[in-house]
């Protein structure tokens, strides 16, 4: 097999990234839970959906712009929240944030980021209309949750993205085999400066991760969303929904947007593919909240399929890490540009000049 030196698609970026990452970091990023059935099915779901293009349509100009929660995007794409990005590159989330903002995309910063809420926000402040959301969990220690929300609001984040599919951590067997730990020098940047945390280990980094895992609250219910929304005026995005009844309930409890997601196949193995769940959830929400989706997106045609089913935008995760590992900020920017070019070509070949023209009539389900 010929060595890849200049990737021309996201799958080639993944292959090249494997030569830039330690085995522990690669397995942490690439793995799913259990037998990784859901991880594989996220990709297979897009392959099951076929396209039905229209012909003789004027596509001399293609417009990829849209908005999410009233904020403009240059294309219908946000970067999903992903932990420990400094495992891929020393600049980590700062490089990702710069690439996202310069391309006019949204970025969702993970609670488990290795660069701080404030430092990532400072990157965004250098660009007009940079869209940054903060992802969080409602922890057992409500004081920790409150402190993170207050930091995000003060730093200028535009929404809170609550992950609801992790009452406990999924069984990620590659990480267990590797006895995953953060390398020396990396830290959970959003936890180190919060006073009052009782770290259960002498080693700060591994102790903070242990603390975080213990803070996941299996007793969390829908009623806790009201408390979360009382902490700031930021709109609430609920991430991790796979059922139409849960989507309706999220709207009833105040969610302004829903991310249809199975956590990249990293939580419940055997869960439905995100794209399959999207088909059920969009009509159930019926325009009362914006619906986004993540999981398995690797091509511009995948974005088009998600939009045709009814998503307002998509989130992409692992390929951003591959770009980050290969080339830092430049690598992330190149990954984004590849998707943008692919989406542009796909729309032209489908007979769509604007995103608003994309609907389910362009799809065929096997």
Look-up of token digits 């020098």? 185
Q: Three-state DSSP class for 173?
A: helix
Nearest to 243 by CA among 211, 275, 278, 216: 278
CA distance 325 to 188: 19
The pairing of beta strand 49-51 with beta strand 363-365:
antiparallel
CA distance 232 to 217: 21
Does the pLDDT of residue 1 top 90, yes or no? no
Q: How confident is the model at residue 199 (pLDDT cuts 50, 70, 90)?
A: low
Does the pLDDT of residue 182 top 50, yes or no? yes
Residues in CB range of 1: below 8 A, 6 or more apart: none
Q: Three-state DSSP class for 133?
A: strand
Does the pLDDT of residue 46 top 50, yes or no? yes
Q: What angle do CA 83, 87, 90 make, to 5 degrees?
A: 115
Instruction: Return phi, psi of residue 337, to 5°.
Output: -65, -35
**pLDDT score, position 203:** 46
Domain parsing of the chain, residue ranges: 10-365
Please list the active-site residues. Answer: 263
Q: What is the mean pLDDT of residues 42-60?
A: 98
Q: What single DSSP character describes residue 185? A: T
**pLDDT score, position 198:** 58
CA distance 274 to 295: 6
What DSSP line would sit under 57-88, residue for residue? ---SS-B--EEETTEEESSSEEEPP-S-GGGT
**pLDDT score, position 153:** 98
Would you say domain 10-365 falls under CATH 3.40.50.970?
no
Identify the helix (H) or strand (E) that includes residue 145.
helix 142-155
111-144: pLDDT as tens digits: 999 999 999 999 999 999 899 999 999 999 999 9
CA distance 306 to 313: 8
């Amino acid at each position: 097999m010929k060595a890849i030196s200049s990737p021309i698609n996201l799958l080639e970026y993944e292959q090249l990234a494997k030569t830039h990452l330690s085995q522990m970091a690669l397995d942490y990023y690439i793995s799913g839970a259990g037998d990784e059935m859901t991880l594989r099915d996220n990709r297979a779901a897009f392959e099951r959906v076929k396209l039905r293009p229209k012909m003789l349509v004027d596509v001399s100009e293609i417009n990829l712009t849209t908005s999410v929660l009233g904020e403009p995007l240059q294309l219908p794409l946000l970067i999903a929240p992903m932990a420990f990005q400094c495992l891929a590159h020393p600049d980590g989330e700062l490089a990702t944030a710069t690439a996202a903002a310069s391309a006019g995309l949204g970025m969702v910063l993970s609670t488990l980021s290795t660069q701080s809420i404030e430092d990532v926000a400072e990157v965004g402040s250098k660009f007009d209309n940079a869209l940054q959301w903060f992802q969080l969990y409602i922890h057992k220690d409500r004081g920790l949750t409150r402190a993170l929300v207050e930091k995000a609001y003060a730093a200028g984040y535009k929404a809170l993205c609550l992950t609801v599919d992790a009452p406990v951590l999924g069984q990620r067997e590659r990480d267990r085999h590797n006895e995953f730990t953060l390398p020396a020098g990396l830290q959970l940047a959003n936890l180190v400066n919060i006073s009052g945390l009782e770290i259960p280990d002498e080693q700060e980094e591994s102790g903070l991760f242990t603390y975080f895992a213990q803070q996941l609250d299996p007793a969390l219910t829908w009623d806790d969303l009201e408390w979360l929304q009382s902490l700031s005026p930021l709109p609430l995005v609920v991430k991790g929904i796979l059922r139409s009844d849960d989507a309706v309930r999220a709207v009833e409890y105040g969610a302004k947007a829903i991310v249809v997601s199975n956590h990249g196949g990293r939580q419940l193995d055997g869960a439905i593919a995100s794209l399959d769940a999207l088909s059920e959830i969009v009509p159930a929400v019926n325009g009362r909240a914006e619906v986004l989706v993540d999981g398995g997106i690797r091509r511009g045609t995948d974005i088009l399929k998600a939009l045709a089913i009814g998503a307002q935008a998509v989130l992409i995760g692992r390929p951003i890490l591959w770009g980050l590992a290969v080339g830092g900020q430049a690598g992330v920017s190149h990954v984004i540009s590849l998707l943008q070019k692919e989406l542009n070509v796909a729309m032209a070949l489908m007979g769509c000049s604007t995103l608003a023209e994309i609907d389910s009539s362009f799809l065929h389900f096997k």
